[in-house]
């Protein structure tokens, strides 16, 4: 079993839809959770960063962490074609390397 | 977010030559930087952890003599691919970790093609 599981998709939704991306993990030591967006042939861009459990909102993006269930989510509201990319969840216990999910390929159809 | 630069963005070299890739943390001093390799439609594969002032820590299966890493300052890490071969062709990405928040910021990547 992988430390971090993420459905690779692909996921295709119409423009304006709410998108829900999820990851599950097995290591209870993880405390720092990140979501990255990666466009083709580009480096990952940090979208959301959350420490421990709770919600965080930034514009159209909301990140949720449920440590009791070892489950994290990223919600995208009013999705746009420019949101089409691969989304990677990543997490760490602190001063260790990041552990990534496999990435979910998302396409927003106009 | 913080800015991490990488240079060059793409490079083509002949088999047997060496190539150096630079990674700079522009917004904060990074005691720890990372080097990744990414194959098409795959997730990031960590190659090594670069620690300022000390030797890099390589992941299992990564040849340290082939992929030389130097982290001589708090804002610069370099990856040198020595005696490059076509199988080394890939997308190489570096990242810098904020020492206080553990947020990790990635560079734009370097596409290496070995002919």
The tens digit of pLDDT for each residue in A99-110 reads 999 999 999 999
Best residue in B42, B44, B51, B58 for a mutation probing chain A (most A CBs within 10 Å): B44
What is chain B's mean pLDDT, rounded?
94
Best residue in A40, A44, A47 for a mutation probing chain B (most B CBs within 10 Å): A44
pLDDT at B24: 96
Binning pLDDT at 50, 70 and 90, where does residue A9 land?
confident
3-state secondary structure of B45: strand
Nearest to B102 among A92, A101, A102 (CB): A92
In this predicted structure, the answer to whether residue B8 has a pLDDT above a threshold of 90 is yes
Phi, then psi, of B38 in degrees rounded to 5: -135, 125
Please tell me if residue A107 touches chain B, with a CB cutoff of 8 Å.
no
Query: Are A88 and B42 contacting, i.e. CB atoms less than 8 angstroms apart?
Result: no
Q: Tokens 């990677």, residue?
A: A88
Which chain B residue's Cα is nearest to A6? B43
């Amino acid at each position: 079993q992988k430390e971090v599981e993420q459905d690779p998709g692909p996921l295709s939704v119409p423009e304006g839809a709410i998108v829900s991306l999820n990851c599950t993990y097995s290591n209870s030591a993880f405390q720092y959770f990140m979501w990255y967006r990666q466009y083709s042939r580009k480096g990952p861009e940090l979208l959301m960063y959350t420490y421990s459990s709770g919600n965080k909102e930034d514009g159209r993006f909301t990140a949720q962490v449920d440590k009791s269930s070892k489950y994290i989510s990223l919600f995208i509201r009013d999705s746009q074609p420019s949101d089409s990319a691969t989304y990677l969840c990543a997490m760490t216990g602190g001063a260790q390397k990041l552990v990534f999910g496999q990435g979910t390929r998302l396409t927003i159809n106009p | 977010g913080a800015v991490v630069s990488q240079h060059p963005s793409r490079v083509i070299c002949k088999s047997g030559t060496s190539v150096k890739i630079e990674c700079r943390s522009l917004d904060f001093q990074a005691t720890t930087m990372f080097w990744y390799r990414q194959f098409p439609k795959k997730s990031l594969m960590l190659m090594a952890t670069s620690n300022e002032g000390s030797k890099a820590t390589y992941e299992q299966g990564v040849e340290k003599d082939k992929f030389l890493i130097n982290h001589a300052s708090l804002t610069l890490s370099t990856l040198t691919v020595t005696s490059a071969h076509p199988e080394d062709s890939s997308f190489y990405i570096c990242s810098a970790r904020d020492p206080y928040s553990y947020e990790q910021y990635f560079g734009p990547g370097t596409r290496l093609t070995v002919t």
